[in-house]
Amino acid sequence: MASRAGGTVSTGRGDRTGSARRTVGELLAPIRARLIFGAVLAFLSSVSGLLPFVAVVEIGRELLAGNRHDVVWTWVGAGVAGAAAKMLLMVVANLVTHYADADLQRHLRARLARHAAVLPLGWFTGRGSGEFKKAMEDDIEDMHHMVAHAVLDLAGVVGLPVAALIYLVATDWRMTLVTLAVLPAASVALASAHRTLPTRMAELTGAQLDLNNATIEYVDGIQVVKAYGNEGRTHRRLADAVDRFCDSLAAWTAEAGRAMFSSMLLLSPASVLLIVAGVGTGFIVAGWLDPVSLLPFLLVGVGLPAPFMTIVQGTQQLRKARLAAEHLHDVLDEPALPLPAAPAVPTAYGITFDRVSFGYTPDEPVLRDVDLRCPQGAVTAVVGPSGSGKTTLGRLIPRFFDVDAGSIFIGGVDVRSIPQETLLGSIAIVFQDVVLVRDTIRENIRLGRPGATDAEVENAARAARIHETITALPRGYDTMVSGRAGVLSGGQRQRITIARAILQDAPIVLLDEATAYVDPENERAVQQALGQLARGRTLVVVAHRLYTIRNADQIVVLDAGRVVERGTHDSLLAARGRYHAMWEAQNDPQHAGISRRKDEAR
Ligand SMILES: Nc1ncnc2c1ncn2[C@@H]1O[C@H](COP(=O)(O)OP(=O)(O)OP(=O)(O)O)[C@@H](O)[C@H]1O
C-alpha cells in the first residue's frame, strides 16, 4: 500500500507483487550498457583462463608423442597469452563495473535525496527515518555487491565451465559425465535450502528494518534512556529488535550454512579428483581411454563443478539486490506532497481551520471536525489531555501532513495552494525536541535566514537571551554543536532554536512547548525569549503547562480530537468546565510543589 499524501507512514509493501517498474533492472537502467560490457569482459577473461590448462595438456600430448618442438612452443605462447588475457580482461571488467557502480550510487542517492525533498515532512516523523536510512545505506550497499561483484562473478564462472565443458566433451564425453556426477547430488542439497531461504531472507530484511528504526529511536531518546536505564521502553524496543535480528540472522546462517557445507563438500576439487582418478583409471585399464586423455579431466575437470557454488552465491546476491531494489522502490514510490495547481501567496497571516479532520491511518481519526480561528498577531494556545491531538493540529499548518477533510487557510489562502517554500518560510517552527545540525552555533542560528550578517545573528541571540551563554564558551559563536547532545543544556539549545526563529522573522510562529527544561533559571530565560519571538506575530502554542499560557488571547481545549472549549483563561475558569478541571488538577497540593514554585520564581 503506497500511503496517501502524507497521511500514513506505510512501508508500501502491500503492492510489492511487482509492476515491471519495481525491478532491479529499472534502477540499473542508467548503467545497463556498462554492466553488460563488464559482464562480457569477465566472460572472455574466464574463457581465456582455460587456455593455460589446455596448453599444459597439449604440451604433454606433444612431448609424449615426440612431436616437433616448435608446436610445443606455440602451445607455451598460447598458454602465456591466455593467462595474460585473463588477468587484463578481468582488471578492465572490474574497472568498468566499479566506475558504473560509483555512478549508480551517486545517481540513486541523488534520486533519493530529491525525493526526500518533496515528501511530506510528516513521513519522517514515523517509520520514515528508518526506511530512508535503510534505502540510503543498506539497500545501496546491496546493489553495490551485485553491480560491482556478483555480475562479474556470475559472468566469470559461466565462461570457464562452458568452454571447459566443450573441451572435455570433445576429449571424452563419458569421462565428462563422470566428472559432472557430483552436480545432481549438490543440486538436491541446495534445492531444499532454496525453498526456505527466500522466507528467511525476507525475515532478515524485516528484522534489519526494525533494528534501524529502533536504533534511531534509541539514539534520539538517549538522554531519557540513560536516565531510566534498562527500564526504558525505548531500550527494551532496541533490545527486542536486536534479539529479533540476531535470531533471524542465526536462522538464516544455519540454514544457508548447512546447504553450503554439504554442497561445497560434494563439489570440492578433492571429491571430484577422487571420482575422476578412480573411474578414469578403471577406463584406462578397460582400454576405453588412452592415459594422456585423462590429463584434461585431472587438470581442468576437477575444477569444473566448483564454480557451481559461485553461481549459487551469486544468485543469492541477486536475490538480496532484488529485495533492496523493491525497498528502494517503496521509498521512491512514497507519494510526494501534492504541488498546488494554482499557487497563491497569502498577504495576511491569520490561520483558520475549517471543519478539519485528520488521522494517521484511515480508521483512526485523530482530529475531528475542528473549527478554529487564530487571529493575526494574537496568541492561540492549544491545550488538552495527552494524545488529544494538540501536536497533530500544529503539524497540519505547515503541511507535515495534508488534512483528510476540511481546509486550513492562512490569510484566506488554503495551505495546499501555497508553494511549499513560501509556506515553510512563513512559519517559524520551534519544536519541543531540539535538534541542532552539525555546525557552529553561529551557522545553526543563521539557518533561520541564510545570508544574515554576524551582527544580525548576534542580535537574534540577544533577543533569545542566549548571547551571554554563547560568548562565555571558549570558542563562542564558533563552538561546534550537533544532534541532541553537546556542550549546551536543553533549555540553552531551545533558546538557540528560538534565536533562529527570531532571525527567520516569519509572520507565524508554531511552538510546541518544551516540558523537559524545568530548572527555573532556564525556564524563565526560555519564556522571555519566547515573549520576544511572539511579538507582533501569529503565535500558535501547543501547551502542556497551563500557567505558561494564562495570558494567551485565546485558549482552545482539545479532547479526543475535538474542540470542546475555547475562551480566555478567566472566562474558561469561570465556565468551570474541562479547562477549569485541568487547571485545578495542575494546581492541586500534589502538583503545587512544582507549579507554585514556578509561579513564585516568575
Ligand atoms: N507520526 C504518527 N503516526 C501515527 N500516529 C501518530 C503519529 N503521531 C501521533 N500519533 C498518534 O496521534 C494521536 C494524537 O497525538 P498527538 O501527539 O497529536 O497528541 P498530543 O495531544 O500532542 O499528545 P501529548 O500531549 O502527549 O504530546 C496519538 O494517539 C498518537 O499516538
3-state secondary structure 25-91: HHHHHHHHHHHHHHHHHHHHHHHHCHHHHHHHHHHHHHHHHCCCHHHHHHHHHHHHHHHHHHHHHHH
Atom of ligand 1 nearest to the CA of 395: 18
Instruction: Look at residue 403 in the predicted model and tell me its pLDDT.
Output: 93
> Of all protein residues, whose CA lies closest to atom 16 belonging to ligand 1?
389
In angstroms, the CA 138 to CA 151 distance is 19
| Residue 346 DSSP class | -
Instruction: Look at residue 229 in the predicted model and tell me its pLDDT.
Output: 52
In angstroms, the CA 509 to CA 501 distance is 8
Q: For residue 463, report the distance from its CA to the centre of ligand 1, in Å.
A: 32
> Of all protein residues, whose CA lies closest to atom 30 belonging to ligand 1?
387
**Which of 4, 11, 388, 540 gets mutated to test ligand 1 (max ligand atoms within 8 A of its CB)?**
388
Atom of ligand 1 nearest to the CA of 542: 22
Atom of ligand 1 nearest to the CA of 384: 21
Q: For residue 373, report the distance from its CA to the centre of ligand 1, in Å.
A: 22
Instruction: Look at residue 8 in the predicted model and tell me its pLDDT.
Output: 35
**Which of 124, 213, 360 gets mutated to test ligand 1 (max ligand atoms within 8 A of its CB)?**
360
Atom of ligand 1 nearest to the CA of 393: 18
> Of all protein residues, whose CA lies closest to atom 6 belonging to ligand 1?
360
Of 464, 459, 466, give the one whose Cα is nearest residue 481. Answer: 466
Per residue, what are the HEC states of 7-43?
A: CCCCCCHHHCCCCHHHCHHHHHHHHHHHHHHHHHHHH
> Of all protein residues, whose CA lies closest to atom 26 belonging to ligand 1?
386
Cβ atoms of residues 163 and 50 within 8 Å = yes
Cα 121-123-128 angle, rounded to 5 deg: 125
Residue found by looking up cell 478541571 in the block: 581
Per residue, what are the HEC states of 548-592?
A: HHCCCCEEEEEECCEEEEEECHHHHHHHCCHHHHHHHHHCCHHHH
Cβ atoms of residues 494 and 514 within 8 Å = yes
> Of all protein residues, whose CA lies closest to atom 29 belonging to ligand 1?
387
Rg of the chain over CA atoms, in angstroms?
A: 34
In angstroms, the CA 602 to CA 593 distance is 15
CA distances from 55 to 77, 165, 276, 302, 542 (A): 9, 16, 20, 17, 82
**Which of 391, 540, 586 gets mutated to test ligand 1 (max ligand atoms within 8 A of its CB)?**
391
In angstroms, the CA 232 to CA 237 distance is 9
> Of all protein residues, whose CA lies closest to atom 27 belonging to ligand 1?
386
CA distances from 211 to 32, 128, 246, 248, 334 (A): 33, 13, 10, 12, 21
Strand partners, 513: none
Q: For residue 201, report the distance from its CA to the centre of ligand 1, in Å.
A: 33
Instruction: Look at residue 5 in the predicted model and tell me its pLDDT.
Output: 38
Q: For residue 452, report the distance from its CA to the centre of ligand 1, in Å.
A: 35
> Of all protein residues, whose CA lies closest to atom 25 belonging to ligand 1?
386
Instruction: Look at residue 600 in the predicted model and tell me its pLDDT.
Output: 41
Cβ atoms of residues 435 and 483 within 8 Å = yes
**Which of 119, 127, 383, 390 gets mutated to test ligand 1 (max ligand atoms within 8 A of its CB)?**
390
CB-based burial of residue 344 (10 Å sphere; 0-12 exposed, 13-18 middle, 19+ buried)? middle
> Of all protein residues, whose CA lies closest to atom 10 belonging to ligand 1?
360
pTM, to two decimals: 0.65
Cβ atoms of residues 171 and 296 within 8 Å = yes
* pLDDT lower than 50: segments of the chain: 1-21, 591-602
> Of all protein residues, whose CA lies closest to atom 17 belonging to ligand 1?
391
Q: For residue 518, report the distance from its CA to the centre of ligand 1, in Å.
A: 23
Q: For residue 360, report the distance from its CA to the centre of ligand 1, in Å.
A: 9
Measured over all CA atoms, what is the biggest interatomic distance in the chain, rounded to whole angstroms? 119
Q: For residue 13, report the distance from its CA to the centre of ligand 1, in Å.
A: 24
Instruction: Look at residue 595 in the predicted model and tell me its pLDDT.
Output: 41
Q: For residue 391, report the distance from its CA to the centre of ligand 1, in Å.
A: 7
Q: Which domains does the chain have, with CATH numbers?
A: 13-333 (1.20.1560.10), 351-601 (3.40.50.300)
Complete edge-to-edge strand list for the sheet that includes strand 379-383: 427-430, 508-512, 538-542, 379-383, 554-559, 562-567
**Taking CB atoms and a 6 Å cutoff, what residues make up the pocket around ligand 1?**
9, 125-126, 360, 366, 384, 386-392, 544
In angstroms, the CA 561 to CA 367 distance is 4
In angstroms, the CA 75 to CA 86 distance is 16
Complete edge-to-edge strand list for the sheet that includes strand 405-410: 364-374, 351-361, 405-410, 413-414
Cβ atoms of residues 152 and 38 within 8 Å = yes
The type of residue at 4 is: R
Q: For residue 392, report the distance from its CA to the centre of ligand 1, in Å.
A: 6
**Which of 121, 363, 366 gets mutated to test ligand 1 (max ligand atoms within 8 A of its CB)?**
366
Strand partners, 567: 555
Q: For residue 388, report the distance from its CA to the centre of ligand 1, in Å.
A: 7
Q: For residue 120, report the distance from its CA to the centre of ligand 1, in Å.
A: 17
Q: For residue 215, report the distance from its CA to the centre of ligand 1, in Å.
A: 21
Q: For residue 1, report the distance from its CA to the centre of ligand 1, in Å.
A: 22
CA distances from 134 to 108, 207, 219, 244, 378 (A): 13, 12, 16, 17, 43
Return contacts of 521-527, CB within 8 angstroms, 24+ apart: 522/489, 522/490, 522/491, 522/492, 523/491, 523/598, 523/601, 524/601, 524/602, 525/465, 525/466, 525/491, 525/495, 526/465, 526/491, 526/494, 526/495, 526/498, 527/602
Q: For residue 402, report the distance from its CA to the centre of ligand 1, in Å.
A: 15
Atom of ligand 1 nearest to the CA of 125: 1
> Of all protein residues, whose CA lies closest to atom 4 belonging to ligand 1?
360
In angstroms, the CA 237 to CA 229 distance is 13
Q: For residue 576, report the distance from its CA to the centre of ligand 1, in Å.
A: 27
Q: For residue 477, report the distance from its CA to the centre of ligand 1, in Å.
A: 36
In angstroms, the CA 76 to CA 84 distance is 12
